[in-house]
Amino acid sequence: MSKPSRRPSREQRKLVPTKERRRAQAELAEQRAKLGYTKRPHTSIANHKCTYDTVEEEQVARNQATAEHIETIRTQLPFLLQRIAKIKDPRNPDKIKYALDVLMLYGMISFVLHMHSSRETTRKMTRPMFWANLQLLFPEFADNPEAPHHGTLTRVLSQIEVNDISDLIIALVSKWIKKKKFSRYLIDHRYLIAIDGTQKMCLDRLWDEECLQRTFNKGKENEYSQYYVYVLQATLTLSGGMSIPFMSEFLSYSEGDSDRDKQDCETKAFHRLAQRLKKAFPNLKIMLLLDGLYPSGPVFETCRQNNWHYMIVWKDKVLKSAETEFEALCNLEPGNSLSMKYNDRQQEYRHANDIDYTYGPNGTKSHLLHAVECRETWEEIEVGGTNVVQKSSKHRWISSEPLEKWNLHRLCNLCARKRWTIETIFLVEKHHGYQFEHCFSYNWDAMIGYHYLMQLAHVFNVMAQYSKIVIDNIKELGVRGFIEFVHESIANPWLDSDWIKVRLGLTPSMCG
């Protein structure tokens, strides 16, 4: 049975006019500001008519926006092409029409510009105007008089080692880390990495042997199965709201235990991802942000061996022995508490250190845990009315570091809560133009290859979003609006070729 809706009915909304509700919200905000609470930041794109008075003004704006966005890609393009050249191309050299670097760049740009499907990519990017503008912006396409069919890219992705594309993203992020691009966004000199899993797609037929399976109404007449793709993702989470997806681990049937009828799972995939993460960044100072699935001995042990810090969500009725000891220690040491205001909420903390947790066969292994609980209270206007109602919530985390009053805010508010940024990444990739849930191919390797190209495009769009030269356009149009603005500029005869060449520093030899 579905949950009852919390949305007020039309009759209820008529009883409380919108003006009265807004007035009540403003009064509550004013009262809380006097008590020292700060309003949570909220931004929205401008709500006004177009600011261009003439076609010439719009053309200038479109040229500038396109050049600034493409420049983000072009600055890293030599490095990318150098890495792509190391990917083994299994095709017959005598029958190759499009080089591998051309196809990889073509596929990545389709995701940069938020193409919705393979057919849309083929239909739009093969248009003469679109392809001519891409050749202008990317002279690497100059030797190809026409754009490739998307099916060509699919066939190539099904043949090459697609993990090499994933290595492109990791190498790019590693390069930025070595150049200290993110040094001002770190917390406690550590890089926050959020790890979480999500379903990519689901069908009612087995389209590949590597798909995972779940069965509903087992043993009944209406029994049916679903076949789905699940992926574990690691995201570099930086202060200021920037999040960069850089590593994915796909769950697959072959990684399961067929003898015991056990499928691959998120916790098994975590250990595979942890090995890759340690190999890619052996000396990087890392703090993992994990959800309530991960408080377990093997995860604690993996983090300890890799010298990683962590903040892990601790749900109720998980690690019951540790939960009992936590309550006992908090009662014995009432001084381990803190009361503070954070944004628009009142927070009450209590913490306990050195909780002895045993695990493994017959409890032969042990680990010392440090845990913290945060209870929040705040006021808001009731749904569909003008009365002030009290709200509350409870959060608990397990920390790798001993907890004290002076580090609770940093570890909980500035670190642990940043785990939600990976949920935002999933939301953006699924519903804001990247078509995360679209497989683009029913070949397993090609599907993974498209996923990696999508993430590479997402990385470039994120870096452009936070660059100084693009930020004004983002504030005016929003992220999706800005990308659509660039997309339309490339699809139509807006670009001034001479100005673009000078702006991007495209030499005559590069432009053919």
What is the structure's pLDDT at 24? 85
The CATH classification number of 163-431 equals 3.90.350.10
Write out pLDDT tens, residues 428-451: 999 999 999 998 999 999 999 999
What is the structure's pLDDT at 5? 57
Residue 382 near residue 389, CB atoms below 8 Å:
yes
Question: At residue 1, does pLDDT exceed 80?
Answer: no
For residue 450, the SS3 value is helix
Query: Cβ neighbours of residue 315 under 8 Å, at least 6 residues apart?
Result: 292, 295, 396
What DSSP string runs through 260-289? GTB---HHHHHHHHHHHHHHHSTT--EEEE
For residue 349, the SS3 value is strand
Cα 399 vs. chain centroid, distance in angstroms? 23
What is the structure's pLDDT at 386? 83
The residue written with tokens 């793709």 in the block is: 229
Exposure on the CB side of residue 188, measured as CA atoms within 13 A: 18
What is the structure's pLDDT at 363? 78
List the domain boundaries for the chain. 55-160+467-504, 163-431
If one compares 386 and 154, the residue with the highest pLDDT of the two is 154
What is the structure's pLDDT at 185? 86
Least Cα distance to 418 among 311, 266, 340, 273 occurs for: 311
DSSP bridge pairs for 367: 357
Question: At residue 326, does pLDDT exceed 70?
Answer: yes
What is the structure's pLDDT at 373? 96
If one compares 381 and 202, the residue with the highest pLDDT of the two is 202
The residue written with tokens 């520093």 in the block is: 505
pLDDT band at 47 (very low <50, low <70, confident <90, very high): confident
The C-alpha atoms of residue 31 and residue 2 are separated, in whole angstroms, by: 37
Write out pLDDT tens, residues 388-412: 899 999 999 999 999 999 999 999 9
Residue 434 near residue 440, CB atoms below 8 Å:
no
pLDDT band at 508 (very low <50, low <70, confident <90, very high): low
Residue 379 near residue 343, CB atoms below 8 Å:
no
Write out pLDDT tens, residues 89-102: 999 988 899 999 99
What is the structure's pLDDT at 51? 86
What is the structure's pLDDT at 300? 95
Question: At residue 13, does pLDDT exceed 80?
Answer: no
pLDDT band at 9 (very low <50, low <70, confident <90, very high): low
Q: Between the CA atoms of 379, 292, 415 and 42, what dihedral angle is there, to the nearest 10 degrees? A: -40
Residue 467, classified by CB atoms within 10 Å of its CB into exposed (0-12), middle (13-18) or buried (19+), is middle
Cβ neighbours around 509 below 10 Å, total: 7
What is the structure's pLDDT at 306? 96
Cβ neighbours around 475 below 10 Å, total: 13
What is the structure's pLDDT at 63? 94
The C-alpha atoms of residue 346 and residue 486 are separated, in whole angstroms, by: 44
pLDDT above 90 coverage of the chain, percent: 71
What is the structure's pLDDT at 509? 53
